[in-house]
Structure 1
Amino acid sequence: MKIEDYELLLKLNEIGTIRGTAKSILISQPAVTQRLKYIEDYFGEMIFIRTPKSLVLTPSGEIILDHAKQVIKQEQLLKNRLSKSSNEVHGTLSIACSSVISQRFLPKILGEYTNLYPNVTINLVTGISEDIRRNHKDYHVCITRGEKLKESTSIRLFDDPLYIFDTEPFPKDSLKERPLISFKSDDSMHELVDNWLYHHQHQIKPVRTMTVDQIETCKQFMKQGIGMAVLPKSVSDSLMDEFPNVALELDGEPVTRYTWVSYQEGILELPQVNAFINMLTRETFL
């Protein structure tokens, strides 16, 4: 059994379908089915019952899954011990990062990091902050937006003010009624926008809302005149002079998204993690 086989079992149990798992790990559905059959043959037990809607763990499967979790945990502990035993910065650095930060800032930071520490293997997962918070213990470092992780050491990297953009002006003395385009984000982002709109309902009234998957798609829809869009400064500074916009403020204070880097206590003993945190906290973002 390879460590990848144990990781596959955990992923199958997390997602619940062979098709969804294959899509998540970027291999074919038949390949996942074949690997699962090999694992079940290896243990001589059925691990999952295949129902029309999802995979269901068998009693034997529950035992095997517990074993898989322990194997992966021990593997990571071993890698961590080996990393600490060497003066050279190497090993694996696992990062979970908000999609906005991974698109806008992370390429430059990781480019500098890998130039300095070419022997470090980077494992990177990107997504919305809500999903990262749910599985934060699976990573050395988490970079999230909104609320900080309560069970971790968290450092606030920067504040990202929000602006509402449109191709049409924002009149001061009349009600603006336009479609609102939003992008897939965590609940805290939507709550900030909804709260601001509630307090400015005499100025701006969304006539309908459409949601797109990516922030870049949201920007392009706005630029084509399809509707208004609320965007953070970090991804919209190039739009400031080209399109009408209004800074989101409440009681004279800007409405912002906080960006945090979080990690578990003791993880800075790993040289590759410590080096990355130091580089991240020295970065000027806005």
Structure 2
Amino acid sequence: MKMEDYELLLKLNEVGTIRGTAKIILISQPAVTQRLKYIEEYYGQKIFIRTSKKLIPTPSGEIIIGYARKIVESEKELRNTLAQSSAEVQGTLSIACSSLISQRFLPAILGEFTTKFPKVTIDLVTGISEDIRRDHKNYNVCIIRGEKLKESTCIRLFDDPLYIFDIEPFPKDKVKERPLISFKSDDSMHELVDNWLYHHQNEIKPLKMMTVDQIETCKQFMKQGIGMAVLPESVSDSMKEEYSYVPLHLNGKAVTRDTWVCYQEGVRELPQVNQFIEALTHTKFL
């Protein structure tokens, strides 16, 4: 059995489908099926029962998956221990990152980082900040939006001002009534927007709300004239030059989304973690 086989079992158990797992690990469905068949033959046990909706571990499968988890975790611990004792920066760097940051900024940061430290293995998970908060102790570093993590060391990376955009002007002498498009985010983002709209209901009145999965979809819908959209400066690019917009302000202050890098005490003793945090804190985001 190879380490990749143990990791495959964990991913199959996490995702619940062969198709979904194949998509995430970027290999074909038949290849995943063949590898699973090999593992089951190796142990002489059926590991998963296939239903119409998901894979369900058999009793033997649960034991094998538990063993696989111990093997993978032991491998990570060994790599990190070796990294601490080595002058060369290596080992595993596990990162949980807000989807917006992972799309907009992380590729360039990781590109430079992996070029400088090619022996570091990157374990990256992306998603909305709310989900990352729940599992933050499973990662070396968390990059989140909104409120900082409790019981963690957090460094603010940048403040991201919010704007409301539309292809139609924002009149000063009457209430603007237009649909409002929002994108899937954590509750703190929606609270910021709702609070601002409440204090500006004499100026802007959303006729209806439309929610889409991705921030890029939200931008494109706005550009097609479907409605208004509240977007952070980090993804607005040249939109302020092309579309009507109003900066979100309350009590004379800009409404912003803070972005934080958070980690548990002591984790910076790992050279790969410390170097990555240094790279983040020396990056100019806006």
TM-score with structure 2 setting the length: 0.90
Task: Report the alpha carbon displacement of residue 143 of structure 1 after superposing the two structures with TM.
Answer: 0.9
Partner of 1:168: 168
Aligned partners of 1:14, 1:111: CA distance in 2, in Å? Answer: 28
Alignment of 1:74-223 (within 5 A): 74-223=74-223
2:106 maps to a residue whose letter is L
1:224 maps to a residue whose letter is Q
Worse-matched range after superposition: 247-256 or 113-122: 113-122
Q: 1:76 to 1:186 in 2, by over 3 A?
A: same
Task: Report the alpha carbon displacement of residue 84 of structure 1 after superposing the two structures with TM.
Answer: 0.9
Partner of 1:44: 44
Task: Report the alpha carbon displacement of residue 136 of structure 1 after superposing the two structures with TM.
Answer: 2.9
1:121 maps to a residue whose letter is T
Task: Report the alpha carbon displacement of residue 68 of structure 1 after superposing the two structures with TM.
Answer: 1.6
Aligned partners of 1:42, 1:158: CA distance in 2, in Å? Answer: 50
Give the match's secondary structure for 2:285.
coil
Aligned sequence identity (%): 75
Partner of 1:2: 2
The answer (yes or no) to whether the contact 2:76–2:92 under 8 Å persists in 1 is: no
Aligned partners of 2:142, 2:110: CA distance in 1, in Å? Answer: 14
Worse-matched range after superposition: 179-188 or 77-86: 179-188
Task: Report the alpha carbon displacement of residue 155 of structure 1 after superposing the two structures with TM.
Answer: 1.6
Partner of 2:243: 243
Aligned partners of 1:15, 1:44: CA distance in 2, in Å? Answer: 23
Task: Report the alpha carbon displacement of residue 206 of structure 1 after superposing the two structures with TM.
Answer: 1.8
Aligned partners of 1:113, 1:18: CA distance in 2, in Å? Answer: 32
Aligned partners of 2:130, 2:33: CA distance in 1, in Å? Answer: 30
Give the match's secondary structure for 1:192.
helix
Worse-matched range after superposition: 257-266 or 219-228: 219-228
1:195 maps to a residue whose letter is N
- Alpha-carbon RMSD across the aligned residues, in angstroms, is 2.1
Task: Report the alpha carbon displacement of residue 100 of structure 1 after superposing the two structures with TM.
Answer: 1.7
Please give the per-residue CA displacement for 1:101-130, whole angstroms capped at 9, x wherever unaligned: 123322332343234334333343333223
Alignment of 1:40-79 (within 5 A): 40-79=40-79
Aligned partners of 1:188, 1:34: CA distance in 2, in Å? Answer: 44
Aligned partners of 2:257, 2:224: CA distance in 1, in Å? Answer: 26
Task: Report the alpha carbon displacement of residue 19 of structure 1 after superposing the two structures with TM.
Answer: 2.2
2:206 maps to a residue whose letter is P
Aligned partners of 2:243, 2:201: CA distance in 1, in Å? Answer: 22
Task: Report the alpha carbon displacement of residue 137 of structure 1 after superposing the two structures with TM.
Answer: 3.5
Partner of 1:283: 283
Aligned partners of 1:275, 1:146: CA distance in 2, in Å? Answer: 24
Aligned partners of 2:150, 2:33: CA distance in 1, in Å? Answer: 38
Aligned partners of 1:133, 1:6: CA distance in 2, in Å? Answer: 26
Aligned partners of 2:116, 2:11: CA distance in 1, in Å? Answer: 33
Task: Report the alpha carbon displacement of residue 79 of structure 1 after superposing the two structures with TM.
Answer: 0.3
1:284 maps to a residue whose letter is K
2:119 maps to a residue whose letter is N
TM-score with structure 1 setting the length: 0.90
Aligned partners of 2:216, 2:245: CA distance in 1, in Å? Answer: 17
Structure 1 unmatched runs, 5+? none
Give the match's secondary structure for 1:240.
helix
Aligned partners of 2:114, 2:73: CA distance in 1, in Å? Answer: 26
Task: Report the alpha carbon displacement of residue 151 of structure 1 after superposing the two structures with TM.
Answer: 4.5
Q: 1:111 to 1:31 in 2, by over 3 A?
A: closer
Aligned partners of 1:154, 1:7: CA distance in 2, in Å? Answer: 30
Aligned partners of 2:234, 2:116: CA distance in 1, in Å? Answer: 26
Q: 1:151 to 1:51 in 2, by over 3 A?
A: farther
Aligned partners of 2:130, 2:170: CA distance in 1, in Å? Answer: 32
1:77 maps to a residue whose letter is E
Partner of 1:27: 27
Task: Report the alpha carbon displacement of residue 221 of structure 1 after superposing the two structures with TM.
Answer: 2.5
2:225 maps to a residue whose letter is G
